[in-house]
């Protein structure tokens, strides 16, 4: 008997969450593994943010790290000045990034695809210049060091201390799972179906009653806000904000994470983040080498796996299943 | 009662060319209407003005008494104006069933966001049966779970029309539905449109070059020439009209 996909989803979700929370056990709590995994989760959040645009709506943004930077700097400034605690600070960073997203989106989203890409690139570079030059606010090129970590969180049955690697890993996992659920809720909803229609054919979507601009602006703002959340989390984890964390190379890296991982799939950006962040030795040897790899990988993917790595995994899984079913059918007859 | 579609003295110029030059007509009662005319008569521009792809320089368009000529495409669609495209557009990555269900979906952004939170499936489930019945009518039921991109051109055309119908429009505009379709499928399309009209009693306005097809399908023909409506009436009258013959030969 085959379980229907709809029924299997909550089970897969719970297993995925349990796997993430229990993953540190596999590495016996090794601080280096925890560091790599936590950073991966931060980038997976950024990847999901871009995936909502690039993978599901078909809008390519080359400046998304700028929105992550807005979230990061707002969180860092609030935390450093002791204005607010962790949750309100990172919430403020998320909202700030969303607001910047709306302000950028209103003029830019009216542009046709390739002009939109160029303008997002310019916005990313502009935000980078602001991070790099507003010394009084962002600390300029030196950045903002010494951002305090959140204090211990009392859960009743346990205390999670984010100042310890394992504690922060649990915080990051929780935030990541929240973002993942948001991604799922959007994709499998009427809103997500309208976005998919816009990606496939804007003219058709409009003629069916979709307000294309309003839909694009909403998902753009939401995506910017999620990027801000990811940026804020990352800065809380690394405890220092630096402009180059949100520069053009990081934008390229993020696009790579989404496309190589598998744009337009729920797990694609997570897989991409795992590959590009948790395996830094393999892929982050040097910036220039990464660029060479970027070109070569994109070429190879465009030729052989337009669905990204997750697409490859998924089609292999489906082949295996159809193979299984033919074998069982043969057995029955 | 107001006419379902009323086009009043509408005009549109591109540079010095008056593509539509004071066209007026009323589609008062449900029916299959044909819109014909020689090349350059302004049919496509008129079509674009009605569905909102272009905005008129002067004149007014009313849909069931509501003025729509200032509205954007999606607003007109939400008022019950559905259309198909000459080049035939379907969502190629979605299944045939999802194409039809998507057309029926409530696309108001706020309702969509509410649905994402509430996870309600009411709207989709309530039209699922009707969607399947319509797919049955065009022999696409067995492809319901196949991506629409796998269909042949003619099948896509039928799917496009069915998708337009599911949202219960008052007016369905068909832009050259017979173009690029083989003779067998043309008969299917012909009978399907007649059947749909008998069922729904809406206005079908069909722009068409295939004379045999449109004359046997439509009960009323509008002839455009030089940006205006030159003549209108039943097919037999139009085919006998000297002015129409002159417009086509002239």
State if pTM tops 0.80. Answer: yes
Instruction: Give residues with Cβ within 8 angstroms of B162, minimum separation 6.
Output: B100, B131, B134, B135, B137, B138, B140
> Residue A174: inside a domain, yes or no?
yes
Mutate to test the interface with B, among A5, A56, A181, A207 (most CBs of B within 10 A): A207
Q: Is the pLDDT of residue A79 over 80?
A: yes
Topology given in CATH for the domain delimited by B5-249: Rossmann fold (3.40.50)
Query: Between helices A31-51 and A248-261, what is the axis angle to 10°?
Result: 80
Burial of A234 (0-12, 13-18, 19+ CB in 10 A): buried
pLDDT at position A333, please? Answer: 36
CA A309 to each of CA A54, A262, A280, A296, A316: distance values in angstroms, whole numbers, following the listed order: 16, 6, 18, 15, 11
Q: Which residue has tokens 């962790």?
A: A86
The two tokens of residue A243 are 């402009």
Q: How confident is the model at residue B195 (pLDDT cuts 50, 70, 90)?
A: very high
pLDDT at position B59, please? Answer: 96
Name which of A197, A215, A218 is nearest B91 (Cβ-Cβ): A197
> Residue A325: inside a domain, yes or no?
no
Minimum CA–CA partner of B122 in chain A: A190
Cβ burial B150-163 (10 Å sphere, 16+ → b, else e):
ebeebbbbbbbbbb
Q: Is the pLDDT of residue A172 over 70?
A: yes
Query: What CATH number is given to the structural domain containing A226?
Result: 1.10.3470
Average pLDDT of the residues of chain A? 88
Q: Is the pLDDT of residue A330 over 90?
A: no
The most confident of the ranges A107-121, A303-317, B63-77 is B63-77
The two tokens of residue B36 are 């014909």
Determine which helix (DSSP H) or strand (DSSP E) holds B233, and give its type and residue range: strand B228-233
Helix extents (H) in chain B:
43-51, 73-78, 96-104, 109-118, 122-137, 153-166, 183-200, 211-217, 235-240, 242-249
The two tokens of residue A24 are 């540190």
Instruction: Give residues with Cβ within 8 angstroms of B167, minimum separation 6.
Output: A208, A209, B77, B80, B82, B103, B104
Pairing mode of beta strands B31-36, B220-225: parallel
Interface list for chain A against chain B, based on CB atoms closer than 8 Å: 185-186, 189-194, 196-197, 200-201, 203-204, 206-212, 214-215, 218
Query: Between helices B109-118 and A165-187, what is the axis angle to 10°?
Result: 130
CA B82 to each of CA A8, A193, B75, B155, B219: distance values in angstroms, whole numbers, following the listed order: 37, 19, 11, 19, 20
Mutate to test the interface with B, among A204, A213, A265 (most CBs of B within 10 A): A204
Helix and strand counts by DSSP (H, E) for chain A? 15, 4
Residue in A262, A232, A213, A201 with CA at minimum distance from that of residue A50: A262
pLDDT at position A291, please? Answer: 66
Give the mean pLDDT of A198-213. 96
Q: How confident is the model at residue A4 (pLDDT cuts 50, 70, 90)?
A: low
CA A317 to each of CA A16, A324, B30, B147: distance values in angstroms, whole numbers, following the listed order: 17, 10, 52, 19
Residue in B131, B132, B177 with CA at minimum distance from that of residue B153: B177
Pairing mode of beta strands B31-36, A144-145: unpaired
Average pLDDT of the residues of chain B? 93
Residue in A116, A107, A8, A3 with CA at minimum distance from that of residue A57: A116
Residue with more model confidence, B31 or A295? B31
CB of B177 within 8 A of CB of B207?
no
Q: Which of A55-59, A260-264, A275-279, B90-94 has the lowest mean pLDDT?
A: A275-279
d(CA B177, CA B164): 13
pLDDT at position A288, please? Answer: 65
Q: Chain A closest CA to B75's CA: distance in Å?
A: 6
Q: Which of A264-268, A316-320, B189-193 has the lowest mean pLDDT?
A: A316-320
Helix and strand counts by DSSP (H, E) for chain B? 10, 10
Set of chain B residues whose Cβ sits within 8 Å of the Cβ of A211: 72, 74, 107, 109
Q: Is the pLDDT of residue B174 over 60?
A: yes
Give the mean pLDDT of B111-140. 88
SS3 content of chain A, % helix, strand, coil (to 5): 80, 0, 20
pLDDT at position B126, please? Answer: 85
Q: What percent of chain B has pLDDT above 90?
A: 82
Q: How confident is the model at residue A2 (pLDDT cuts 50, 70, 90)?
A: very low
CB of A81 within 8 A of CB of A137?
no
Q: Is the pLDDT of residue A329 over 70?
A: no
> Residue A30: inside a domain, yes or no?
yes
Q: Which residue has tokens 């929105």?
A: A67
Residue with more model confidence, A117 or A297? A117
d(CA A242, CA A227): 16
pLDDT at position A285, please? Answer: 57
> Residue A306: inside a domain, yes or no?
no
Q: Chain A closest CA to B168's CA: distance in Å?
A: 12
Q: Is the pLDDT of residue A302 over 80?
A: no
d(CA B193, CA B218): 10
pLDDT in tens, A8-54: 888 999 999 999 999 988 887 788 889 889 999 999 999 999 999 99
Q: How confident is the model at residue B249 (pLDDT cuts 50, 70, 90)?
A: confident
Q: Is the pLDDT of residue A295 over 80?
A: no
Give the mean pLDDT of A79-101. 95
pLDDT in tens, A113-126: 789 999 999 999 99
Q: How confident is the model at residue A290 (pLDDT cuts 50, 70, 90)?
A: low
Contact A208 B109 (CB under 8 A): no
Domain that holds residue A196: 12-287
Q: How confident is the model at residue A294 (pLDDT cuts 50, 70, 90)?
A: low
pLDDT at position B199, please? Answer: 92
pLDDT at position B100, please? Answer: 96
Q: Using only C-alpha atoms, what is the Rg of chain A? A: 20
What phi-psi label fits residue B168: left (phi over 0), alpha (psi between -120 and 50 degrees) or beta? Answer: left
Residue A90: how many CB atoms within 10 A of its CB?
27
Set of chain B residues whose Cβ sits within 8 Å of the Cβ of A193: 98, 102, 105
Q: Which of A295-309, B42-56, B201-215, B231-245 has the lowest mean pLDDT?
A: A295-309
Give the mean pLDDT of B167-185. 91
| SS3 (DSSP) at A125 | helix
- ipTM, 2 decimals? 0.93
Residue in A248, A220, A261 with CA at minimum distance from that of residue A43: A261
Give the mean pLDDT of A255-265. 91
Contact B98 A210 (CB under 8 A): no
Burial of A249 (0-12, 13-18, 19+ CB in 10 A): middle
């Amino acid at each position: 008997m085959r379980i229907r996909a709809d029924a299997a989803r909550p089970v897969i979700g719970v297993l995925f969450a349990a796997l993430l929370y229990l993953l540190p056990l596999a590495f016996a709590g090794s601080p280096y593994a925890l560091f790599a995994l936590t950073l991966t989760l931060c980038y997976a959040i950024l990847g999901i943010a871009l995936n909502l645009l690039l993978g599901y709506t078909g809008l390519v943004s080359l400046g998304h790290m700028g929105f992550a930077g807005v979230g990061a700097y707002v969180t860092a400034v609030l935390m450093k000045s002791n204005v607010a605690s962790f949750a309100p600070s990172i919430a403020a960073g998320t909202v700030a990034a969303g607001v910047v997203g709306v302000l950028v989106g209103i003029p830019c989203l009216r542009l046709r695809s390739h002009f939109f890409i160029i303008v997002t690139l310019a916005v990313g570079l502009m935000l980078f210049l602001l991070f790099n030059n507003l010394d009084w606010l962002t600390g300029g090129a030196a950045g903002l060091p010494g951002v305090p970590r959140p204090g211990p969180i009392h859960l009743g049955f346990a205390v999670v201390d984010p100042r310890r690697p394992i504690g922060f890993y649990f915080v990051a996992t929780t935030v990541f799972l929240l973002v993942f659920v948001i991604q799922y809720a959007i994709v499998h909803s009427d809103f997500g179906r309208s976005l998919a229609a816009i990606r496939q054919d804007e003219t058709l979507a409009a003629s069916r009653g979709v307000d294309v601009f309003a839909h694009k602006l909403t998902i753009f703002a939401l995506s910017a806000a999620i990027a801000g959340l990811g940026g804020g989390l990352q800065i809380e984890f690394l405890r220092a904000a630096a402009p180059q964390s949100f520069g053009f190379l990081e934008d390229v890296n993020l696009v790579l994470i989404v496309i190589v991982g598998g744009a337009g799939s729920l797990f694609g950006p997570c897989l991409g983040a795992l590959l590009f962040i948790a395996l830094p030795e393999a892929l982050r040897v040097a910036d220039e080498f990464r660029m060479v790899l970027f070109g070569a990988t994109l070429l190879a993917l465009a030729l052989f796996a337009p669905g990204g790595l997750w697409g490859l995994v998924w089609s292999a899984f489906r082949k295996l299943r159809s193979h299984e079913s033919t074998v069982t059918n043969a057995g029955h007859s | 009662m107001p006419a379902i579609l009323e086009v009043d003295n509408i005009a549109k110029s591109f540079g010095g060319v008056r593509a539509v030059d004071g066209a007026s007509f009323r589609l008062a009662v449900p029916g299959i209407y044909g819109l014909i005319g020689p090349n350059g008569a302004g049919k496509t521009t008129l079509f674009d003005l009605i569905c909102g792809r272009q905005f008129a320089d002067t004149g007014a368009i009313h849909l069931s008494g509501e003025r729509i000529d200032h509205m954007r495409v999606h607003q007109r669609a939400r008022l019950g104006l559905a259309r198909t495209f000459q080049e035939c557009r379907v969502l190629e990555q979605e299944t045939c069933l999802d194409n039809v269900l998507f057309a029926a979906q409530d696309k108001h952004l706020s309702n969509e966001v509410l649905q994402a939170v509430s996870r309600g499936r009411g709207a989709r489930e309530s039209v699922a049966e009707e969607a399947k019945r319509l797919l049955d009518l065009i022999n696409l039921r067995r492809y319901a779970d196949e991506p629409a991109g796998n269909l042949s051109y003619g099948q896509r055309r039928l799917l496009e029309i069915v998708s337009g119908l599911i949202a219960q429009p008052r007016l369905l505009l068909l832009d050259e539905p017979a173009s690029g379709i083989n003779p067998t499928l043309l008969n299917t399309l012909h009978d399907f449109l007649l059947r749909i009209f008998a069922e729904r009693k809406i206005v079908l306005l069909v722009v068409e070059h295939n004379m045999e097809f449109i004359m046997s399908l439509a009960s009323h023909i509008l002839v455009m020439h030089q940006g205006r409506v030159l003549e209108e009436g039943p097919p037999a009258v139009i085919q006998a009209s000297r002015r129409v013959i002159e417009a086509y030969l002239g």
